[in-house]
Amino acid sequence: MKAFIKKIERINFGLMSPENIRDMSVVTVEYPDTYGDDGFPIDKGLMDPRLGIIDPSLVCRTCGSKGGVCQGHFGSIELARPVIHVGFGDVIHKILRSTCNECGRALLTDDEIKEYTNKILELKAQNESIGGILKKIYELANKKECDECPHCGTIQDKIILDKPVSMVQIINPLCEFKKVFYDEMSADSISIGEIGPISREIVENKEEYFQNRLLVNSNLLELLCEHLHNVDEIIDILDSDDEIDASYELSNTQLNNIFKTIVDSNGLIEEYKLTASEVRERLEKITDEDSFVLGVNPEVARPEWLVLTVLPVPPVTVRPSIILDTGERSEDDLTHKLVDILRINQRLLENMEAGAPQLIVEDLWELLQYHVTTYFDNEASGVPPARHRSGRPLKTLTQRLKGKEGRFRSNLSGKRVNFSARTVISPDPNISINEVGVPEMIAKEVTVPVHVNEWNIDEMRTYIENGPDVHPGANYVINGDTKRRVTEETKEFILENLEPGYIIERHLKDGDMVLFNRQPSLHRMSMMAHEVRVLPYKTFRLNLCVCPPYNADFDGDEMNMHVFQTDESRAEAKSLMRVQEHILSPRFGGPIIGAIHDHISGAYLLTRDGVEFTEEQALQIIRKSHLKIPEFKSNQWILKYDPDFDEESFIYKDKGDKWTGKELFSLLLPNDLNLSYTAEISKCPEVYPPEDAEVIIKNGILEQGVIDESAYGSFSGKILDKIVKEYGPGRAKEFLDRSTDLAICGIMKTGITTSLNDEEIPEEAQDRINEHLDNKMAEVDKLVEAYEEGYLEALPGRSLAETLEMRIMQVLGEARDMSGQIAEHYLTMGKQSLDDTYDHVMAVENHSVVMARTGARASMLNLTQITACVGQQAVRGGRIERGYINRTLPHFKKGELGAKAKGFVHSSYKSGLDPIEFFFHAMGGREGLVDTAIRTAQSGYMQRRLVNALQDLQVKPSGLVTDNQGNVIQTMFGEDGVDPAKSDFGKAANLDKLIDEIRMEGK
Amino acid sequence: MKSEFDIQKHKLVPKHEIMTEEEISNEFSDVDYDFKNLPKIKVTDPVAESIGAKPGDILRITRESQTAGEFITYRIVEV
């Protein structure tokens, strides 16, 4: 098909007139059937061939094009009676209540109409929204009690919308009757006895006196008149202390009160449901000028078109029927609905022609309205949804378009793609951070198109020879317009004809660029370009350092992979999306890709004080970590080799000397790296030896300190951060890959294990904790006593009860912290000093603590909760209050305020919780779960709105930020023009750090 | 009676100045946007009123910035 390039200048929205619909229609559908007994579509039925065809072997009778090309053509149904369109229920209601019920003019004075017309024209000329002004207009024109039409003077009845499509007029005789009555009253005042005759006189000639036709047609006036004749009733209403009779002269207020009370107490108000025809008649009466102020532009829409008289029938391509395996035809939901509409329409027509009673016609009309309503929207409130025979609600027009699964969000904003794969992920520390392990099965399925040229033709030949089932093979060969699958049969033919210009869809092989993604894709690091490594088995393999940016773990997570199909996309991804380009996160200007878990504890075990290896072991480690083996010169190893310096500044190591872990780690570092910082383990109360907490790197040698989370952990790695920023992402990638290997070696030399013994503390410690907890409990009891005795002093701005609660929370917080500190004192990583004799039960090394202190996993809080005391359980940020009346559980006294009664858990996880503690713990735990569930939903929606608002912004080279209209958002990006990913943890520069570095280099 | 309170002196109100023709031609000689695309400020805005800005004027706003220390931005006065 030839493409026409046209530019859309503007889009005009309007309503379709019945004439439009008829003009567009190629067939007037009359019969509620689809296919006849012969299997052919029925003429003038819902599957009439003129509505378009799907079968590619047929030619469309309307447009003459083949099936698949023919987009289909609309038909129409002539509705026996008009029907209100659900989508316009509230628009119709707003228009009706803003126009006169009798003359159809807008309830605005001529001046107002002129004024607002001009205002709307002005806004439209400035391309601004007219929503605000229309709201004002509708407010102004809205009928109020006893309002008169400024044009014909009729007193207006209120009109109410009975959702979704019924318009109800509230007929209230009061206002108009009062007006007429006062006009007819001869004197200024009137006696009770006179009311009756006057009103009789009015009511008997009501056609003359009243303008409201609905009121005239009802019998409300007669009923009112009857009541007004009843002198006793009127006297009752007056409820006077004096004796009154029919000659009593009434004041105006009394008269008003009489009318109102009679109308109200006798229910002389009628609700009249307007039929769609009546609604349409009223809308027809609205002049073009009036409809313009009411927001209906007469150039593209007339108010009466809001009520349907002709219903468009969408082409069959919109509602294709499916042929089931059994050979049965199954029709689309829309077709089902149209069948219903046609059926009722026909019955209604027949009944009307036969002159059936009004009641029956109205019932059928109502039913037609229901079917047309649900045809448009099957989830309209107040309408029971139309169901399939199986009980499933039908998916009609609105449901097709609306929401996340609707046409817009699911099919137009998001599409399914080819050349993608999805499977479970698993870890592989032996591949690089910018690689992804692709199962062979997938590599053989998704392909890369390669243009054959004279240089690669031999390589391509081998792929074709391998075919689709042997790994580096090919699946398809494309020559111009013909695409041929490579099979045993076609192989030979293809090989014979293969020449430059062909395109081979070859299997994925090592080194190909692919896009790798894990949902939810919350930031740009959720989609990165990786290099392929074809591996056995069926999972995607990824390096552990890229878990944080994807937020991935291996408890069953799945990820998606996309293969680039053009050289442009591949090149762009290679420069913008590769993993190493995203080591630094624009969120906080530090590394987000970095070491986690064993990677961190491994480095600690390798670099801590006293780790030594024999030369043989050291060389093994170097080899295993794929590091360059240091140069060996005149019986010495050159640890750091910098050709810029003379040989004296080299760092030598004699042959046969032992190697320390720090020396091994130094091999990873760039030669001229200078850095000092405080390690993560400095948060330990005592570090042995204390120098280990202060890291000093001089000329690429780790002189002092251990490697832990602060060195190269994700989110906080100082060395990693410096390497990316000063040596570039390539070097950083290499550093991470090699350090992964080295850390694995380190952890394998020492070994790491943990058991419940790691959370063991000596009895003496347990005693201290218990004693301490007892003291704190006593303190809480004292507070409670002070409160009950009334000598507790309230904190400023707090009530006494709040003060007590705060004080108790504080004491209990201290209780947990202190017991934690006691336990922490015994939970040490290992040796405390050279002559440590290990007099407590603690083993020589405690790997749980190693993991917590180095930042690899878990925290000291986790450990002390296991060993010492779990602490206060909280619901809604306070102690637990809910449960029974004035108490949490029936095990406590009513109003008890002690620690135990409100959810303090004395026990540790290891010693076990008693049933009451367990119950409170479950309460707190449940709140945590519910909160996370709610938070993800809320933040997801927040993010959606934020992204929608910001997605079209662009930063110009000058730093100017504009939206897609060219409006300036910022004259300089972020006001300082700094790329946060290249900043130093959000700051443009860190002077202290710079000074430190210069000082170190000078030394 | 006009209010004695000068909102320009409030610490949360940044400095607003009406730019002269000369300043405009100086400061906007090399920008890649049109004046009409600048962020807008209403003439009825209290600050605009207090300095007597007229529609079409360009205001120079000098404010404290978390990232840049001090930042100069512009707004065009509109009805």
Q: How far is CA A230 from CA A177, A191, A224, in A?
A: 17, 13, 10
Residue B14 inside a domain? The answer is yes
* Residue of chain B nearest A976, judged by CA positions: B68
CA distances from A281 to A103, A276, A277, A288 (A): 11, 9, 6, 15
- A697 with A674: CB under 8 angstroms? yes
How many residue contacts between A and B have a Cβ separation below 8 Å?
Answer: 39
B52 in any annotated domain: yes
Of the candidates A133, A164, A146, the one whose C-alpha atom is nearest the C-alpha of residue A107 is A146
The half-sphere exposure of A691 on its side-chain side, counting CA atoms within 13 A, is 9
Q: Which residues of A touch B31 (CB under 8 A)?
A: 958, 960, 971
| B32 lies within 8 A of chain A by CB | yes
DSSP annotation of A187: S
Residue A126 confidence (pLDDT): 83
Of chain A, the percentage scoring pLDDT greater than 90 comes to 44
Q: Where does the pLDDT of residue A369 fall: very low under 50, low under 70, confident under 90, or very high at 90 and above?
A: very high
Are B67 and A966 an interchain contact pair (Cβ–Cβ within 8 Å)? no
Task: Determine contact: B41 vs chain A, CB below 8 A.
Answer: no
Q: Which residue has the tokens 């870890």?
A: A427
More confident: A924 or A254: A924
pLDDT at A1003: 56
pLDDT per residue as tens digits for the range A123-136? 988 888 899 999 99
Name the phi and psi angles at B58, rounded to 5: -110, 130
Closest residue of chain A to B31, computed from CA coordinates:
A958
B6 touches chain A (CB under 8 A): no
Chain A positions touching chain B (beta carbons under 8 Å): 956, 958, 960, 962, 965-972, 974-976, 978, 988
| Alpha carbons A371 and A727: distance in angstroms, whole number | 70
Q: Where are the alpha helices (DSSP H) in A674-762?
A: 709-712, 718-750
Question: Which of A9-13, A132-136, A635-639 bottoms out in mean pLDDT, i.e. has the lowest?
Answer: A635-639
Mean pLDDT of A270-285: 92
Of the candidates A345, A343, A297, A339, the residue with the CA atom closest to the CA atom of residue A321: A339
Residues of A whose CB is below 8 A from B66:
975
Residue A2: predicted pLDDT: 65
Tens of pLDDT, residue by residue over B39-75, are: 999 999 999 999 999 999 999 999 998 888 899 999 9
Reduced to 3 DSSP states, what percent helix, strand and coil does chain B have, rounded to the nearest 5?
25, 30, 45
**Any CB–CB contact under 8 A between B65 and chain A?**
yes
Closest B-chain CA to A966: B37
How many angstroms away from the CA of B57 is the closest CA of chain A? 16
Nearest to A476 by CA among A494, A457, A455: A494
Q: Quote the pLDDT of residue B63.
A: 92
What integer is the mean pLDDT of A348-360?
Answer: 92
Q: Which amino acid is at A933?
A: A
Q: Which residues of A touch B71 (CB under 8 A)?
A: 972, 975-976
Instruction: In whole angstroms, give the CA distance from residue A104 to residue A840.
Output: 97
Residues A463-492, mean pLDDT to the nearest whole number:
91
pLDDT at residue A53, as a whole number: 84
What pLDDT, on a 0 to 100 scale, did the predictor assign at position A755? 87
Nearest residue of B to residue A978 by CA position? Answer: B67
Is A976 within 8 Å of B32 when comparing Cβ atoms? Answer: no
Record: contact A958-B71, CB cut-off 8 A = no
Residue B1: inside a domain: no
- Three-state DSSP at B18 gives strand
Measure the CA angle with vertex A175, ends A169 and A178; round to 5°.
Answer: 150
Contact assessment for residue A304 and residue A280, using Cβ atoms and an 8 Å cutoff:
yes
- Alpha-carbon separation of residue A877 from A779, A892, A901, A928 (angstroms): 22, 22, 17, 11
Q: Is residue B2 part of a domain?
A: no
Instruction: Please check whether residue B3 lies inside any domain of the structure.
Output: no
pLDDT of res. A258 = 80
Count how many domains chain B has: 1
**Tokens of residue A459, six digits:** 């390589």
CB-facing half-sphere around the CA of A71: CA atoms within 13 A = 0
Q: Which amino acid is at B44?
A: T
3-class secondary structure per residue, A900-929: HHHCEECCCCCCCCCHHHHHHHHHHHHHHH
- Please state, rounded to an integer, the average pLDDT across all residues of chain B: 88
Is the preceding omega at residue A18 within 30 degrees of 0, hence cis?
A: no
In chain A, the residue whose alpha carbon lies closest to the alpha carbon of B66 is A975
pTM of the predicted model as reported, rounded to 2 decimal places: 0.76
A964: closest chain B residue by CA:
B37
What pLDDT digit, counting tens, does each position of A402-411 carry?
988 899 988 9
C-alpha distance from A979 to closest chain B C-alpha (Å): 11
- Identify the residue among B31, B32, B33, B70 best suited for mutation to test binding to A, counting A beta carbons within 10 A and taking the highest: B33
Write out chain B residues lying below 8 Å of A960, CB-based. 31-33
Measured between beta carbons, the chain B residues lying within 8 angstroms of A972 are: 68, 71
Work out the mean pLDDT of chain A and round it to a whole number. 87
pLDDT score of A1001 more than 70: no
- Which residue in A681, A548, A549, A678 sits closest to A603, CA to CA? A681
Alpha helices of A246-396 — where are they, by DSSP H? 252-265, 276-285, 288-293, 333-353, 358-376
pLDDT at position A838: 46
What H or E segment, with its residue span, contains residue A872?
A: strand A871-872
- Return phi, psi of residue A890, to 5°: -70, 0
Is residue A689 reached through a cis peptide bond, with omega within 30 degrees of 0 on the bond before it?
yes
Structure tokens of A962?
A: 């504009």
Confidence of residue A536 (pLDDT cuts 50, 70, 90): very high
In a domain? residue B32: yes
Looking at residue A650, its pLDDT comes to: 63
CB-based contact A968 B67, cutoff 8 Å: no
8 Å CB contact of B33 and A966: yes
Residues in chain B: 79
Structure tokens at A235: 């006297």
pLDDT digits (tens, 9 = 90+) for A738-795: 999 999 988 888 888 888 888 888 888 899 999 999 999 999 999 999 998 888 888 8
Look up tokens 């004192």; give the residue: A825
Q: In b/e form, how buried is each residue of A765-790, taking b as 16+ CB within 10 angstroms?
A: bbebbeebbeebbebbeebbeebeee
Listed range (A177-181, A519-523, A540-544) with the worst mean pLDDT? A177-181
Q: What is the per-residue pLDDT for A582?
A: 93
Contact B37 A976 (CB under 8 A): no
CATH number at residue B70: 3.90.940.20
Question: What is the reported pLDDT for B72?
Answer: 92
What is the per-residue pLDDT for A833?
A: 52
Residues of B in contact with A968 (CB under 8 A): 33, 37-39
pLDDT single digits (tens) A872-888: 998 988 899 889 999 99
Q: What residue of A is the nearest CA neighbor of B75?
A: A968
Its ipTM equals 0.91
Average pLDDT of span A9-18: 90
Read off the pLDDT band of A843 (50, 70, 90): very low
Q: pLDDT confidence of A263, banded at 50, 70, 90? A: confident
Q: How far is A549 from chain B (nearest CA, A)?
A: 26
Interface test with A, best of B67, B71, B75, B76 (most A CBs within 10 A): B67
| pLDDT band at residue A456 under the 50/70/90 scheme | very high
Interchain CB contact of B58 with A (< 8 Å)? no
Instruction: Retrieve residue A3's tokens.
Output: 């493409």
Chain A residues close to B72, C-beta within 8 Å: 971
Tell me whether B29 touches chain A (CB under 8 Å).
no
At residue A415 the predicted structure's pLDDT band, cuts being 50, 70 and 90, is: confident
Please state which of the ranges A89-98, A179-188, A921-930, B18-27 shows the lowest mean pLDDT.
Answer: A179-188
Query: What is the mean pLDDT of the segment spanning A947-975?
Result: 91
What's the rounded mean pLDDT across residues A663-682? Answer: 87
Give a yes or no: residue B4 inside a domain.
Answer: no
Q: Is the pLDDT of residue A651 over 70?
A: no
Cα distance between residue A684 and residue A688, in whole Å: 10
Range A408-436 average pLDDT: 93
Q: What pLDDT is attached to residue A572?
A: 95
Query: Is B26 near chain A, with CB under 8 Å?
Result: no
Is residue A907 within 8 Å of A836, Cβ to Cβ?
no
List CB contacts (< 8 A) between B73 and chain A: 970-971
Q: How confident is the model at residue B27 (pLDDT cuts 50, 70, 90)?
A: confident
pLDDT at A835: 53
Q: A960, A968 in Cβ contact below 8 A?
A: yes
Contact B43, B49 (CB under 8 A): yes
Answer with the residue of higher pLDDT: A338 or A834.
Answer: A338
Give me the domain span that covers residue B18: 10-78
CA A896 vs CA A56, A95, A764, A798, A885: distances in Å: 81, 63, 32, 21, 11
Closest residue to B74, CB basis, from A958, A971, A988: A971
Cα dihedral value A789, A795, A799, A801, nearest 10: -50
A297-322 mean pLDDT: 92
| Interface contact B67-A974, CB threshold 8 A | yes
Sort strands A270-274 and A249-250 into parallel, antiparallel or unpaired.
Answer: unpaired
pLDDT at A729 over 90: yes
Nearest to A375 by CA among A354, A358, A352, A400: A400
Which among A960, A975, A988 has the least Cβ separation from residue B71? A975
Q: Are A89 and A276 in contact (CB under 8 A)?
A: no
CB contact under 8 A, A975 and B74: no
Nearest by CB: A958 against B32, B67, B74? B32
Q: Which residues of B touch A984 (CB under 8 A)?
A: none
Tell me, what amino acid is at B47? V
Q: How far apart are CA A103 and CA A101, in angstroms?
A: 6
Q: Do the Cβ atoms of B65 and A975 come within 8 Å?
A: yes
pLDDT at position A250 over 80: no
Q: Please say whether the beta carbons of A631 and A638 come within 8 A.
A: yes
Q: How many CB atoms lie within 10 A of CB A519?
A: 13
Contacts of A978 in chain B (CB under 8 A): 67
Q: Is there a contact between A971 and B37 if contact means CB atoms under 8 Å apart?
A: no
- Over residues A980-994, the pLDDT tens digits come to 888 887 777 777 777
Q: Are strands A435-439 and A527-535 parallel, antiparallel or unpaired?
A: parallel
In a domain, B37, yes or no: yes
**With 0-12 CB in 10 A as exposed, 13-18 as middle and 19+ as buried, what is A458?**
exposed
Single-letter residue type at A58: L
Q: Is any Cβ of chain A less than 8 angstroms from the Cβ of B33?
A: yes
* A690 contact partners, CB below 8 Å, separation of at least 6: none
C-alpha A135/C-alpha B47 separation (Å) is 29
